[in-house]
Structure formats: structure tokens, C-alpha cells
Amino acid sequence: QVQLVESGGGLVQAGGSLRLSCAGSGFIFSLRSMAWYRQTPGKQRELVAAITSAVNTNYADSVKGRFTISRDGAKNTVYLQMNSLKSEDTAVYFCNAEFGGRAYWGQGTQVTVSS
């Protein structure tokens, strides 16, 4: 059974930092690309950052230079380091993995940036 469990969200002031973690289980983590998405009420879920099994990364333009995605194969965990946070980064952040024709999601973690 595939599980993705996020942690690390919270309330932070603008300009601050947070690190999100996503622990994966039930699949061969090292073979899979992983991603972080975010969603605000009334809007579609949007891709924030992604990392392949070869550790190639890509980012949404809105977070380039501020966010860093990384992975630790020994811990089956993907991270999202978020620096210089802005109020517009406020959202629920979801961990994602896609394989076998299915998309798997974590439960989401709330990030709130106060201005």
C-alpha cells in the first residue's frame, strides 16, 4: 500500500523559512520521481517542484531561487526547503508520486505565511 506522509507545515512570518518533509512507503522510492504541489481554496492544484530519481529538478517560476527540493533515498523522504516565504505561498502543500498509471497524494500540510 502506497503511503505519502507530509510534515513540517505551519505558520511563519513573511521572509521566513520552513522545511516540508514527505515520507514514502509501499513502493521503491529510489526509482520514482517525486513532486510537491500546492493548492489554495477555489484554485487548481499547481506544481511547485519536482525531482527525478536521477535528482534532476524543476520548479515553478514563482518559487525559483527561493525553494529547493531534495531527496534522501536512505530515508525514503523528499524535502521542500522554502526560504524567503511570501504571503502568496500560503497554501496546502501536497506530496505526489505517479507511477503505474496512478497518481498518489499525501494528506497535505498547511503552510501559512503572515505578512
Overall average pLDDT of the 23-37 stretch: 96
Overall average pLDDT of the 7-27 stretch: 97
Alpha carbon 9 to chain centroid distance? Answer: 10
* Rounded distance between C-alpha atoms, residue 70 and residue 80, angstroms: 7
42-70 pLDDT per residue, tens: 999 999 999 999 999 999 999 999 999 99
* Rounded distance between C-alpha atoms, residue 60 and residue 47, angstroms: 7
